[in-house]
Structure 1
Amino acid sequence: MTEFRFSHRTIAVAIAGFALVYLLGAYHLPGFVAVDVPVQPATLPRGLGYLLLGLAAMLFFQRAEQAEDETATDATATEQPAEPDEVGLGRLRDTRLELAVFLVAACLYVALFAVAGFVLATAAYIASTAWYLGYPRHLVTVLTSVTIPLAAYIGMSEGLGVALPNGPLPF
């Protein structure tokens, strides 16, 4: 397996270039003036572009010692031979099967989205993938998998006025 040989600054410049092109495209999106809407369609792409540009700047100005320490630990980790019994990402040894499991999980999420609603489908997806990946703190998993979709649902429906499927939930 070959190592990644670009410096973090080179990657940051490439990401910043992509972010600038993305922002240029986001500023060319037409405004929606036919109906009074609280948020214009170009707001989210512009915010994502600025976020990506900020993250690229943070990566560019990251201290070189941190990046060298990370590559040094990676180099020592790659020098040791990998155990043949070492398990990969989740619970299966074959990475193709791992990808198939996540593809099936994403398809189930899409299938349950309209029936179970945004909150329940997203909570089930987050909790099941965290369990499958072996995250040991189940209380944190449950709290996270319920809080994040609920906050996103309230923010989207109340804040932005976007109708998401509610499923059997009364709100």
Structure 2
Amino acid sequence: MYTSPRALNSLVGISLLALLSGCGALTDVRSFSTPYSSPTSGDTARVRVISDGMVRAVPKSDCINFRLPGAGVMVAQRDGYADRNGEKLGMQPTAVQLASTVESELLVPAGQPIAFHYIGNRCYNMFTFVPVAGADYELQAAGLGSCAVILKRMQVGTRSFSFEPLGDSKLCKWGDNF
């Protein structure tokens, strides 16, 4: 289980989101209106993303910069934002999906870092990991009383898994969230 130690980043991020949503511009921000782009070549891994909020990703980076190629929204629980909700790649199911969550199975580049940004109910986490080629992962990002994110590496073709560590991430530069 991973919980970001960056309380100041959380406060700044939530404040920025509140400010932007107050003026109605939040859905116009590129990082909220652009869906994540799956790789079309090279080694890949599959990731099932389950969330009660929004999970955005930046491939080939260990920090958040939504101007990089492929960066965008993977899943979003609320309407009005870009998303890739409900996509399936044939992964073995492991968890029962709650009505309050959304889910999608997506390809990510393998052998390179990928940075994630989870925004949930009073949650604002940024984290990273390096997927292994051909592996299946399940990323659970749901507040449910805590602001935790869990990454499981699935044993392909089974319901068995092992927990994987997540690294801390941050914005590459202050304005890269937009």
TM-score normalised by the chain length of structure 1: 0.21
TM-score normalised by the chain length of structure 2: 0.21
Greater strand proportion: 2
Greater helix proportion: 1
